Structure 1
């Protein structure tokens, strides 16, 4: 089997909306964020704006993966074919060889030359590691390839870069295993797996913590889709701390050897470590 690896990349999707816009949208969801209690209170007396406080706000880059794979399988196999003939036919001569007829048919053999090509594109949530086809919608928005310097600059400005819990090697293994189909072959003439994209995307998300009557609730704003939703979480614990997430895109021999014993593939590291802003 021949395996071809694409260059791994990290890309940052550009915000469509500002922090100010996101906060305004989040504010409209403040009552919903506190659930039934706030809505019941609203029936009796509408909560006043001054009763609500935004105690924390953040911009973070949240990870997801895109892995694209294509396969080519070319092979040969010998097959027997049954050919129907008229009832009166007793035998058939093909290429100087007489074929007996039984039950209104005779047998011939041949070699089938086959070729199968397939492609697969899978999106994974970087935190839950689950496949999520809906993440493909984010690719409609412009993205810029990231460097260690760019990510460091963003963290220095207060943006939280959330480390991916999913490893590239594990995801590639899953995609390749599902892309390679079972074949019936006497001889394989070509078997190629092309990993056309191994990309770690970061999408911008804003989060706001509201306080009301001694309680707290979170509203998140998707800086690409423009959707504001209640619930969610924040990553404020990362602010002011030093992180060494080791964003390794490790799709080397560890993953490939499951399919190609003894393969010696290069191991790539796009970003070896990122420091968040110091205290």
Structure 2
């Protein structure tokens, strides 16, 4: 199988000049709703000044997994008997009595069903664990150009708060919550087919409200140009050149979550063995 783990960086669409112009138009809204609506202490154009700005790269995950389950369950099949004169049925030396209910005549045949089921899980999750607009992250992937990276040279890239072990745990919990009516499991595996880490460009402009000694942040999406008022300034950045394997934290914590011998190319999590 092709390596499931990949890192991508989006090509910037909006230039700094366009983003700065949009942010400047919204700078008075950088200090929250209360400040905006306060008739006595409202930020004014001459009292709100740009203090610093940055083009940062924010992470999000795309995951595709499959839970493959082999299981069995015991049940009784009602089998209709068409012969109105039959008194009993013998199958493989076993005698079955005929039950009558109205015009229906049936026997109850004990059986064991052996089934195989595949459950797909695909999702896009913000690497900073925020609630973003539904479909927004998938929309980035479908609309904008990306470059695959094996070495990430982005000093302004934000460190994901949703780390890979946490992500795998979330996947496991979601798939394990799927109800399967079984008496016995023969096998229950989660195969991680795709776990891609994307970095998208976001401009952040920090403004100082000089008369109130307050700061606020306006964000501008580097792909769509969308403006986010009352934004955030993130301090935890990668700061240095980082390899793909370092980003995916291929250490003992992750290895313990995978089937031994699976390696980096085939990610398999066994549910029923734990």
TM-score scaled by length of structure 1: 0.72
- Change in CA separation of 1:192 and 1:147 when aligned onto 2, cut-off 3 Å: same
> Counterpart in 1 of 2:224?
225
Alpha-carbon displacement from aligned partner over 1:67-90 (angstroms, at most 9, x marks no partner):
210122234445321234578653
For the 8 Å contact 1:58–1:234, the answer to whether it is kept is no
Q: How many residues align?
A: 251
* Richer in strand (by share): 2
SS at match of 1:74: strand
> Counterpart in 2 of 1:125?
126
Q: Distance in 2 between matches of 1:100 and 1:121?
A: 49
- Which of the residues 242, 260, 264 maps onto 2:261? 264
Unaligned runs of 5+ residues in structure 2 are 266-274
The answer to whether the aligner puts 1:26 opposite 2:29 as a matched pair is no
For the 8 Å contact 1:74–1:115, the answer to whether it is kept is yes
Q: Distance in 1 between matches of 2:235 and 2:74?
A: 64
Unaligned runs of 5+ residues in structure 1 are 269-279
TM-score scaled by length of structure 2: 0.73
Deviation at 1:97, TM superposition (A): 5.5
Deviation at 1:91, TM superposition (A): 2.0
Deviation at 1:17, TM superposition (A): 0.9
For the 8 Å contact 1:64–1:123, the answer to whether it is kept is yes
Q: Distance in 1 between matches of 2:139 and 2:55?
A: 21
Deviation at 1:219, TM superposition (A): 0.7
- Which of the residues 182, 197, 201 maps onto 1:184? 182
Q: Which stretch shows the higher mean deviation, 178-187 or 160-169? A: 178-187
- Change in CA separation of 1:91 and 1:237 when aligned onto 2, cut-off 3 Å: closer
Alpha-carbon displacement from aligned partner over 1:22-56 (angstroms, at most 9, x marks no partner):
11111111222244445556999x94x55442111
For the 8 Å contact 1:13–1:143, the answer to whether it is kept is yes
Q: Distance in 1 between matches of 2:205 and 2:40?
A: 21
Q: Distance in 1 between matches of 2:39 and 2:257?
A: 59
**Aligned ranges 1:192-211 → 2 under 5 Å:** 192-211=189-208
SS at match of 1:197: strand
- Which of the residues 143, 148, 171 maps onto 2:146? 143
For the 8 Å contact 2:208–2:215, the answer to whether it is kept is yes
Q: Distance in 1 between matches of 2:69 and 2:133?
A: 28
Deviation at 1:198, TM superposition (A): 1.2
For the 8 Å contact 2:65–2:190, the answer to whether it is kept is yes
- Change in CA separation of 1:168 and 1:242 when aligned onto 2, cut-off 3 Å: closer
Q: Distance in 1 between matches of 2:261 and 2:131?
A: 29
- Change in CA separation of 1:206 and 1:99 when aligned onto 2, cut-off 3 Å: same
SS at match of 1:161: coil
For the 8 Å contact 1:12–1:145, the answer to whether it is kept is yes
**Aligned ranges 1:106-121 → 2 under 5 Å:** 106-121=107-122
